[in-house]
Amino acid sequence: MRWKKQLLTLTPYQPGKSIESVKKQYKLDQIIKLASNENPFGCSSKVHSALQSQQPGFAIYPDGYATTLRESVASFLKVNQDELIFGNGSDNIIQIISRSLLHPGANTVMATPSFSQYKHNAVIEGAEIKEIPLLDGQHDLEKMYAAIDDHTNVVWVCSPNNPTGTYVSKNNLITFLDKVPAHVLVVLDEAYYEYVFADDYYDSIELTRTYSNLIVLRTFSKIYGLASLRVGYGVANRSIIQALEPAREPFNVNSFGQVAAQAALCDQEFVQNCKEKNRQGLTQFYEFCERHNLSYYPSQTNFVLIDIKADANQGFQYLLEKGYIVRSGKALGFPTSLRITVGSSDQNEGVLNALGEFLTKQNTEKLSKN
Ligand SMILES: *Cc1c(COP(=O)(O)O)cnc(C)c1O
C-alpha cells in the first residue's frame, strides 16, 4: 500500500503503564498515578447525578450540535453559540485545525518542548514544522514571530505550557498578537486555564473579540475531571468556527460526555476547591525542591517539572517500584527531569518521600564512586 510517507516516521502515542500491570509486576497493593495531569479529586458529584437522571440512550446517536452543552458554555463564557466548536477532547480540535489548515507546502510554528499533538498532527498533514526552543521554560514569542513567513498557516501557543507549567504573560501575548499577520491562525491552548492564578494572566475569551485570527482551546479533561469522557472546545469568532466545522466529524462528542460536561460546568464550587487544593499541593512540591536544592519551573498548572539532576528514566523507575507512576522527562525533552501531577496532599507527600529516597540513594552512590 502507498501509505503517506510521513506516517512511517511516527510512532503511536505511548500510553502510560496501566495501574493493573504495574501492581502485578511489582507486587504492590496500591498504585498512585501522577502521570497524566488528571484531577486527583475526580469530578463533581453533580456529574454522577446528572448521568443517572438523564441517562442517554445507547442506541441513539449523540446530538451532533451538542445543543444543551453549547447553550451552557456560551452563557458561562458570555459568547455566542456560533463562536464555539466542540471536540472529542481538545486533542480532536487540534486535529480538526491541522486538517483544515496544514498541508505540504504550508508551515506551522510551535514551541519546543511543548504539547506533542501539535507536531504529531502537522507531520501527518505533511506540513513543514518550525520548532522554536523555549527560553527559560517559556515560549519565545519574539523568535516564534520571526519564524512566521508567507507559508505559515498556524502558530501554536500552549499557555500554561505542558510540560513546563509556565505561562505567557499578558504583555508578551498582546505584543505578539498585534504583529501576527491576519492570515495566520493563532491557537492558544489553555488546557490548564482553570488552574491559573497569576495576576498578569489575560482574559483570553475577550482577546478572541479583538483578534479575529485567534482560537482558544479548553477542555473538560483536566480540572473538571472528565478525561475519560473526551470533551473539549474551541472559542473563536464565527468565521473561524464556520471554516473549521466541515472538518469536524458529525458525532464527535458522545452523549455521556455532553451530559457530564454540562453538569460539571454548573459546579464552579468544585472547580474553585480543586484549584485551591492544587495551589497548596504546589507548595508541597516547591518546599521539597528547595530543601533538596532542585530546580523547577513555577507552575500555573496541576503538574510540576522538576530537575532531579539524574537520569529521568532511573528516577521514573525508582518511583514506579514504590507505586508511583510519574512522567519521565526523557520523552518530553527534559532528560533529567520528572513531570509529576499534583495529587492530594497525602499523595504528594508519598511521592515526594519516595523521590527523597531516590535522591539519597543517588548521592550515596556518587560518594562511594569518588
Ligand atoms: C491534556 C492536554 C490536552 C488534551 O486534552 P483533551 O481535552 O483530553 O484531549 C490539550 N493540550 C494540552 C496542553 C494538554 O495538556
Cα 349 to Cα 66, 142, 204, 242: the distances in Å are 41, 39, 34, 48
* Burial (CB count within 10 angstroms: exposed 0-12, middle 13-18, buried 19+), residue 105: exposed
Global pTM value: 0.96
Ligand 1 within 6 A of CB of 38:
no
User: At 179, which helix (H) or strand (E)?
Assistant: helix 170-179
What's the rounded Cα separation, in Å, for the pair 128 and 133?
A: 16
Mention every residue, 6+ apart, whose C-beta is less than 8 A from residue 241.
Answer: 82, 83, 84, 85, 234
Ligand 1 within 6 A of CB of 89:
yes
Cα 261 to Cα 44, 45, 68: the distances in Å are 10, 12, 10
Extract the C-alpha cell encoding 235. 472559542
Question: What SS3 state is found at 135?
Answer: strand
54 confidence band (pLDDT: 50, 70, 90): confident
130-177 pLDDT, tens digit per residue, is 999 999 999 999 999 999 999 999 999 999 999 999 999 999 999 999
223-250 pLDDT, tens digit per residue, is 999 999 999 999 999 999 999 999 999 9
DSSP for 177-190 reads HHHS-TTSEEEEE-
Best of 37, 92, 167, 189 to mutate for ligand 1, by most ligand atoms within 8 A of CB? 189
List of domains in the chain: 5-42+269-369 (3.90.1150.10), 45-266 (3.40.640.10)
* Residue located nearest, by CA, to atom 1 of ligand 1: 191
319-330 pLDDT, tens digit per residue, is 999 999 999 999
- Report for 10-14, 55-59, 321-325: range of highest mean pLDDT: 321-325
